[in-house]
Amino acid sequence: MPDALQAVLAAAAPASASILLAAMGGAVNRQGGIVNVGLEAKMLVGAFVAVICGAATSSSALGALAAAAAGALVGSAFSLVVTRLGANEIVAGLGLNLAAVGLFGYLLPVVFGVSATLSPPGLVGLPLLRIPLLDAVPFLGPVLSGHDPLTYVSWMVVPLTWLLLYRTTWGVSLRATGADEEAARAAGIRTLLLRDLSTAWAGALAGLAGAQLSLGLVQLFNKQMTGGRGFIALAAFYFGDARPGLTALAALVFGVFEAASFRLQGGELAPQLVQMLPYLAVVASLLVVGARRRRLRRRRELTPEPGR
Amino acid sequence: MIETAPAPLSGGPVRGRLPGALRLLAPFLIALGAGAVVLWATGRDAFAVYGQLADAALGGGTQIADTLAATTPILFTGIATALAFRAGAFNVGVEGSLYVGAFAAAWTGFSFPHLPGAPLLALAALLAALAGAAWALLPALARAWLDVSEVVTTLMLNYVAILLTSYLVNDHFLARGVANSMSPMIAPQARLPPLLPGSQLSAALLLGLLLLAGYWFLFSRSTLGFELRLVGLAPRLARASGVDLRRSLVIAMLASGLVGGWAGGFQVLGVIHRFVDGFSPGYGFTGIAVAILGRNHPLGILAGALFFGILTSGGGMVQLVSSIPIDLVNVVQGTLMVFAVADLGRLGWLRRWAGRA
Amino acid sequence: MSAPRIGLRGIVKRYGPIVANDRVDLDVAAGGIHAVVGENGAGKTTLMRIIAGLVEPDAGRYELDGRPVRLRGPADAIRRGIGMVHQRFQLVEELSALENLVLGATPGRLRFDRRAARTAARRLAEQLAAELDWEAPVAQLSVGQRQRLEIMRLLYRRADILIFDEPTSVLTPGEAELLFGIMRRLAADGRTILFITHKLPEVFAVAQHVTVMRRGRVVATSAVADTDPRQVGRQMVGEDLTPPDLRPSGRVGRPVLALREVSATGGRGEPRLRRVSFEVAEGEIVGVAGVEGNGQRELVEVVMGLRQPAGGEILLDGRPCGHRGVRERRDLGVAFISEDRDGEGASLDATIADNAVATAYRRPPLARAGLLSPGRVRRATEDLIRRFGVQGGRPGAPARVLSGGNLQRLVVGRELSRVPRLLVAAHPTRGVDLRGTVFIRQQLHRAREAGAAILLVSEEIVELLELCDRIVVLYRGRITADLPVARVTAERLGALMAGLAA
């Protein structure tokens, strides 16, 4: 049993890295007041650009950087439509996802002559890093060591996000923008610009998440390789109320679900039922929060004035 | 800090307005333009491809029939979405209702092969409607009583529906002897009659048009429709006038889910005749675009559904004939969704240009 | 003499057909408290928003220390040292007090230096002799604390002109005293304070100069030492109003609405109505007098069924109905003119016809058996437009095209197209032009003479004295007086509303 657990956890670390990266970006974006439904598209773009640039430069690091840049670019464009043209972010996000899926579905056969999977020659994956001392620790060693660099980046992004949101003026202004845009604008904050920057940041992290999929987990691009991870990231930051710690925790737990559901294939418990869990968790948590808020409100409203 | 409502679909501060025709057509032009850019960038003649596409979709009786067949599920999801939008409920969960409705219809169709045609069809339609409505129930109640935004709950439940039906068909109702992930065929008498033999067009289209007429009637001739519309347009006025906001919201969401269930159910009964894992190419999401582009107006919904029907069926033919992947259609549709909700009137230069032209 | 700190020359601001500021001249000397008084809709707030850079004037000159300036938004104003304490605080409730203090103040710096911020916060708090929990989210602060935080925020940004927009309307008397202390201290430090109010005792308590506005114009500016409350009161109301005779005929019937010890609480659980009891009878207008925020809104909501009472009984024609919803009450003959005109009263996005039938669409002749007749809806709307003199739009046009006064005529017409058992009218003439005001008051009078019971909530003393049979005064959620109108004078009513005398 410990062996199986260790195996699941060791698999969960890289499996959750892309969800974690995208969710942290989404959380920042959410704090700024935009629900980013288009993370999926930016991950897909990142995955594609990482493979193309990685192969062209024979460098997985350059591939990952290009993926982040591409994600930020797509994120900025998306943001402008939302912040400057007043587009509803949910519908626009769903549209962006569809357009991205369509674009790669078209490009792969037309430009690259493959139906769904692209693996250009010269493509190098991300190396696996063994961390010297940690490696030797029993049980934890294999869980924490021996992953691709982007998995470690995903871990480092968690405290970075916290610092960004709570220890920079930028973060304070961003949170103010998300909580009460009118008040923030009255305080002289350029709220639209901040929103755009937060969406670009979310796009960059989603792009990195894509690169982790196409250069870390595997070394190829498939038009369906994101497989709903953008939405699981959405589930994670919703479940975590867009707070860095809780969001990260949710992303990691969802990563464990995913790693587990792979191992369940052909087993007794259907993988679909496990894959449902993140979505159900979000719905359940929203209901719990709503119910608690309602109870609190009712208690306040119906308290008669203390006797006089 | 969880709930901040997304930008409204309409209304709000309108900074500037484009002339009516341009406002309606601009998203289509931009979307077709985006598709054209992709085509040109990859060395294809966009005009030729669009010409082929139109020809393949509209160039003859069978082609038109197939286009109408492709229009049918989108017409249903468009109506379903518009029902909710009109009442101010942001239901993006029609896709989920569609899946459970489709499964319910298929299950009825293959589980009661001894029933005669009419009762079997009626039962299948009923269960599809119930399943679809049931899928919208929880988000509706959560919004009405707990003030939990329906956007995220309905969005999340889409994936639960897709996974749940996938689980059901793969683990419990797998057809013997076929490739993966399909249920058994429904009984022959459970099939909706075809309208034009040799095409995929079935009586589901007529049901969709009937439903559209009902949608028109509801919102322009009934007090219930007036109430729902008032709730969507002016919730505070509605409340002060005596409308029960919760009741209206739940009614609209359930009606939306119900029609969403039919969208899937009639696709099964009319076209695919069984449940297929992941059969929908996003009909529910297309319905969102249709409702928005059609401004929730019956004729607008019809026109929007036809546009996507043409795109889908024409795109399918072009793929067969000239090996241009149908995925291109998704580029156009996705771009269309983005710009359907964008207020281009905020672009001063566009406004000025339109004013001069 | 040196140039005034602020100088306004011929400032004009129009909102559609309404002239909010009409060739306004104003000089404010540096280092003192300058009060601006006037009735609702006199244009005080618009003028202050112009000074604070929130609104650009259509015409006129704006000078600071004698030099003309053109402000590009509130951020530009604050850079020049001008800040405004709004009636609705511009604080972000989810953020801590400390974060709100520094919000947007140091755009060039990336690091949010909590230590430095806390030091500055403590120094400011000392300066104002006001302590608060800097780490608590603003949502947890009391109203007075929030207001002090707003002030400190402006001082943190080195504002030396502070504009207070009716700052005491949300405060308890104790907190108001605290605020006056702060204002005096700020003025003593050489800062310039502009103070909007309509409570005259406050003017004479803290200000050195007072400017009176009426109908968008400055009527008078004087040193407080050279004038008295009586004179300023006369200047505020003016003599240009010759009211039609709206005296009640005095035929009062059975009670229609009765409140027995009704209590209600606000969003944070604070008591807003405390054991309120009174009655309104057929053929009677009962006025609820009080300065905004003393429980009027809650009273109206409780009577309409828009809010659950926390205790007590509400009777309509003798039947308890505290548990009934809005629709049931409307079916019993209750009509409602809401103070929230663009929201509860009407919707600017909906068509004029939708607005006109929003409360009657279920009844014959408009509807039968759930079926609505569009033709009858249109005819009913046209009828209403004619009868109530609504100008400026056809039934199919969005209500947005109507002016404020015409929109209110539409609402009044809708609610009075049938004589109601009970009419709840909240600030029915607020912001309405003179002709519209007279018309609406006549309609209320006519409804009363037709036998309706009317509950009229208003802040306008003239309106209350002109229309009502009886007046109850609501102060801090309590009924502090219940008097026949014959026993009330304008001075006495003003004092009662301010909570001064009993």
d(CA C216, CA C196): 14
* Angle, CA of A29, A31 and A32, to the nearest 5°: 65
- Chain B residues 198-227 within an 8 A CB cutoff of chain A: none
Look at residue C311 and tell me if it is in a domain: yes
Residue B344 in domain: no
Flag if C354 and B233 touch (Cβ within 8 Å): yes
Q: Tell whether A134 is covered by a domain.
A: no
Same domain as C276, residue C178 = no
Using pLDDT thresholds of 50, 70 and 90, give the confidence band for residue C243.
Answer: low
Distance CA C478, CA C500 (A): 14
DSSP state of C148: H
Determine the residue among C54, C94, C112 to mutate to test chain A binding: the one whose Cβ has the most chain A Cβ atoms within 10 Å.
Answer: C112
Q: Within a domain: residue B222?
A: yes
- Answer yes or no: is A241 within a domain: yes
Say whether both C183 and C264 belong to one domain: no
Q: What is the pLDDT of residues B142-167, one digit of tens each?
A: 999 999 999 999 999 999 999 999 99
C-alpha to C-alpha distance for B132 and B135, rounded to whole angstroms: 5
A46 within 8 A of A203, measured Cβ to Cβ: no
Count Cα atoms within 13 angstroms, Cβ side, for B145: 12
> What is the CATH number for A51?
1.10.3470
Whether A133 maps to a domain, the answer reads no
Provide the residue-wise pLDDT of chain A in tens; the chain has 308 residues.
Answer: 567 788 878 888 888 999 999 999 999 999 999 999 999 999 999 999 999 999 999 999 999 999 999 999 999 999 999 999 989 999 999 999 999 999 999 999 999 988 889 988 888 889 888 888 887 888 788 888 888 999 999 999 999 999 999 999 999 999 999 999 988 988 888 899 999 999 999 999 999 999 999 999 999 999 989 988 999 999 999 889 899 999 999 999 988 888 887 776 666 778 889 889 889 988 998 899 889 888 887 766 555 443 33
Alpha-carbon distance of C186 to C196, in angstroms, equals: 16
* Dist. CA A155–CA A139, nearest whole Å: 19
Q: Of chain B residues 162-221, which have a CB less than 8 A from chain C?
A: 220-221
Q: How many CB pairs under 8 A join A and C?
A: 92
Range of the domain at A192: 2-126+145-302
Residues C260, C233 share a domain:
no
- Interface of C to A at Cβ within 8 Å reads 74-75, 78, 90-95, 99-100, 102-107, 109-112, 114, 153, 263, 265, 267-269, 271, 274-275, 308, 310-311
- 3-class DSSP state for residue B12? coil
Residue type, C459: E
Cβ pair B183, B110 in contact under 8 A: yes
Task: Compute the distance between CA of residue C138 and CA of residue C97 in angstroms, rounded to an integer.
Answer: 5
Q: Does one domain contain both C46 and C125?
A: yes
178-197 of A, contacting C, C-beta below 8 A: 179-180, 182-184, 186-189
Decide: residue A135, CB within 10 A, 0-12 exposed, 13-18 middle, 19+ buried: middle
* Residue A75 φ then ψ, to 5°: -60, -40
Q: Read off φ and ψ for residue B18, nearest 5 degrees.
A: -90, 160
Q: Is residue C355 part of a domain?
A: no
Distance, in angstroms, between B1 CA and closest chain C CA?
7
| B146·A290 Cβ contact <8 A | yes
C212, part of any domain: yes
Q: Residues A176-220: pLDDT tens digits? A: 999 999 889 888 888 999 999 999 999 999 999 999 999 999 999
Q: Please state, in angstroms and rounded to a whole number, the distance separating the CA atoms of residues C426 and C335.
A: 11
Last residue of a domain, one of C194, C210, C237: C237
Instruction: Tell me the chain C residues in contact with residue B240 when contact means C-beta distances shorter than 8 Å.
Output: 304, 306, 326, 336, 338, 344-345
Interface test mutation site (partner B, options C341, C354, C414, max chain B beta carbons within 10 A)? C354
User: Nearest C-alpha of chain C: how many angstroms from A193?
Assistant: 13
With beta carbons under 8 A apart, name residues in chain B contacting A86: 7, 12, 342-343, 346
ipTM score of complex = 0.89
Q: How far is CA A117 from CA A215, A221, A223, C23, C364, in A?
A: 14, 6, 7, 72, 66
Domain range enclosing B107: 72-323
Q: Is residue B13 part of a domain?
A: no
Q: Which 10-49 residues of chain B touch chain C by CB within 8 A?
A: 11
Position B310 in a domain:
yes
Residues 6+ apart with CB under 8 A from B347: A85
Set of chain A residues whose Cβ sits within 8 Å of the Cβ of C112: 166-169, 171-172
Q: Which of B306-320, C103-117, C446-460 is predicted with the least confidence, judged by mean pLDDT?
A: C103-117
Beta strand C319-320 with C311-316 is antiparallel
- DSSP lists the bridge partners of residue C464 as none
- Please give, rounded to a whole number of angstroms, the shortest distance from the CA of A174 to a CA of chain C: 10
Q: What is the pLDDT of residue B18?
A: 73
Same domain? C135 vs C279 = no
All residues of chain A having their beta carbon less than 8 Å from the beta carbon of residue C275 are 305, 308
DSSP SS3 for C58:
coil
Please report whether residue C136 resides in a domain: yes
Nearest by CB to B233, which of C331, C344, C350? C350
Residue C452 near residue C284 (C-beta atoms within 8 A): no
Same domain, C229 and C259: no
Does a structural domain hold residue C428?
A: yes
Write the CATH number for C208.
Answer: 3.40.50.300
Judged by CB atoms closer than 8 Å, whether chains meet at C354 and B230 is answered as: yes
- AA identity, residue B347: L
pLDDT at A304: 46
Determine the Cα–Cα distance for residues C128 and C122; give it in Å rounded to an integer.
Answer: 10
- pLDDT tens, position by position, C262-321: 999 876 677 889 999 999 999 999 999 987 778 889 999 999 999 989 999 999 999 998
Is residue B350 included in any domain, yes or no? no
Considering the domain boundaries, does residue A12 fall inside one? yes
Q: Looking at the 3D structure of chain B, how many domains does it have?
A: 1
Contacts of B239 in chain C (CB under 8 A): 306, 326, 344
DSSP line for C321-366: -TT--HHHHHHTTEEEE-S-TBTTTB-SSSBHHHHHTTTTTTSTTT
Whether residue C90 contacts residue C150, with contact meaning beta carbons closer than 8 Å, is answered with yes
Are C187 and C318 found together in one domain? Answer: no
The DSSP annotation for B66-78 comes to HHHHHHHHHHHHH
Does the residue B79 lie in any domain? yes
Chain A contact set for C269 (CB, 8 A): 299-301, 303
How far apart CA B200 and CA B210 sit, in angstroms, is: 19
**H or E element in which residue A115 lies:** none
The answer to whether residue B134 neighbours chain A at the CB level (below 8 Å) is: no
Amino acid at C72: R
- The pair of structure tokens assigned to B69 is 């067949």
Task: Give me the domain span that covers residue C44.
Answer: 6-237
Token pair belonging to B282: 């996003």
Is A136 domain-assigned? no
- C227 and C265 in a single domain? The answer is no
The first and second tokens of residue C420, run together, are: 């109601």
> For residue C372, which of B236, B208, C331, C380 has the smallest C-alpha distance?
C380
Q: Are residues C187 and C283 part of one domain? A: no
* Cβ-based contacts under 8 A for chains A and B: 182
Structural domain count, chain A: 1
Is C368 a member of any domain? no
CATH number at residue B78: 1.10.3470
Using CB atoms, which residue from C331, C362, C374 is nearest to B220?
C374
Record the tokens describing residue A125, joined without a space: 């994956």
Reduce the secondary structure of C450-490 to three states and give it as a string.
CCCEEEEEECCHHHHHHHCCEEEEEECCEEEEEEEHHHCCH
Quick one: pLDDT at residue C153? 93
The total number of structural domains that make up chain C? 2
Tokens found for residue B279:
């059969």
CA atoms within 13 A on the CB side of A127: 6
Whether residue B223 lies within 8 A of chain C, CB to CB, comes out as: yes
C215 and C296, same domain (yes or no): no
Residue C230 lies in a domain: yes
Nearest CA in chain C to A297: C267
What are the residues whose beta carbons fall under 8 Å from the beta carbon of B117, sequence distance 6 or more? Answer: B189, B190
**The tokens of B161 are what?**
């529906």
d(CA C287, CA C467): 8
User: Does the predicted model carry a pTM greater than 0.80?
Assistant: yes
Å between B110 CA and nearest CA of chain A: 23
Write the DSSP symbol of residue B193.
P
